[in-house]
Structure 1
């Protein structure tokens, strides 16, 4: 075998070894270094997150219905406010908070509730723990709609009507509640707090 062929074989072996070391150290595009798939579990968003400036698309959201004037005022104070996006976020908040209340998860509830609401929910959880009563479970969201919006100084408040089906033991009942969310439009914190909960009477 000629020396050139031997040199080529050695170079190929070295290249293969280096490539293998890189693969085992860094992993493939779709896995960890040992070849297992990476976890794609979403990371929770912090309770306080600095608002990032958004490019101005030049499009103005549509304000309709009985809350139009209030929504217009909130948008004027905070141009990033979009009623459709807000309603999607409110639905997610309802589902998350209802589930946390059913679990008695005070740690999850506290950052998202105003003081009065938290104290009322905390007392309800404590009473349930004392009596051993079953917690209501959210079975299905039936409908959600913005009912009212207003701007008091820099404080925005938006009320959403939620219709849902709840399960309590073997029983199923309909629930209709008005949740009011608030946010200081002059703050860089983009998160809304649950300020009030009223049951439709």
Structure 2
């Protein structure tokens, strides 16, 4: 999974979990690279570029603006990559894998994750969480602001979560009973940059 995701140049990333055990820190930034698009920069966005199944009401006009400003942007590929990133970031946080988080997030976001991981270790807690399924990933907002584009994605997922103490005893949760989670992540990218990577700039609960 990791190798495959790197091969895609981390073309999408997302999420902050809500709900059970230890909450994710709140900040931001993550990378998302978008594969080359089929259309030239001179072409206006067409209806086929906007898939209503992955876009909430009100986001379509913003996405058309993003597509018009960035000919490399592809909605479907962005969503697919976002799902993969969501899984990777959550799993890295749950495992306390700061090396993986280091290349997935920017320094200020990494600091938030690192503090949450440190607090967890200090309490002697270990998470045994599993992402059961991403039920839905929808673009809820998109906007072009000056030289930058921002895209917000809502994730609805089922997560099985268990927290154990230092002795291995279960103190919260159950791996046999998944919990519904609803997360909102916002990504931004400079439209003037040759770098195709997007950064996660905001996380929130739905």
- Length-normalised TM-score, structure 1: 0.68
> Per-residue displacement from partner, 1:115-159 (whole Å, max 9, x unpaired)?
443222221111111112232432221111100111111211111
- Aligned match of 1:175 in 158, 173, 181? 181
Against the structure 1 CA distance between its residues 114 and 155, is the aligned structure 2 distance closer, same or farther, given a 3 Å change threshold? farther
Deviation of 1:185 (Å): 1.7
**Which sits farther off after the overlay, 148-157 or 61-70?**
61-70
Coordinate RMSD, CA, aligned: 2.9
Segments ≥4 residues shifted beyond 6 Å:
47-53
Instruction: Point out where structure 1 has 5 or more consecutive residues left out of the alignment.
Output: 1-40
Question: 1:112–1:192: 8 Å Cα contact kept in structure 2?
Answer: no
- Kindly tell me the number of residue pairs found equivalent between the two proteins: 160
Partner of 2:76: 84
**Is contact 1:98-1:137 (8 Å) kept?**
no
Task: Give matches, 1:89-104, under 5 Å.
Answer: 89-104=81-96
TM-score, length-normalised on structure 2?
0.67
Counterparts of 1:65-144 in structure 2, within 5 Å, are: 65-135=57-127, 136-144=129-137
Contact 2:188-2:199 at 8 Å conserved across structures = yes
Q: 1-side partners of 2:33 and 2:86: how far apart?
A: 23
Q: Which residue of 1 aligns with 2:197?
A: 191
Report deviation, 1:69.
Answer: 1.7
Q: Is the 8 A contact 1:134 1:168 kept in 2?
A: no
1:44 paired to 2:6: yes
Distance 1:69 1:43, change over 3 A: closer
Higher strand fraction: Structure 1 or Structure 2? 2
Bigger Cα displacement from structure 2, 101-110 vs 52-61: 52-61
Q: Which runs of 5+ in 2 are unaligned?
A: 11-30, 163-172
Give the distance between the partners of 1:159 and 1:71, measured in 2 at CA.
10
Match of 1:159 among 147, 152, 172: 152
Structure 1 position 95, deviation (Å) = 1.0
Larger helix share, 1 or 2: 1
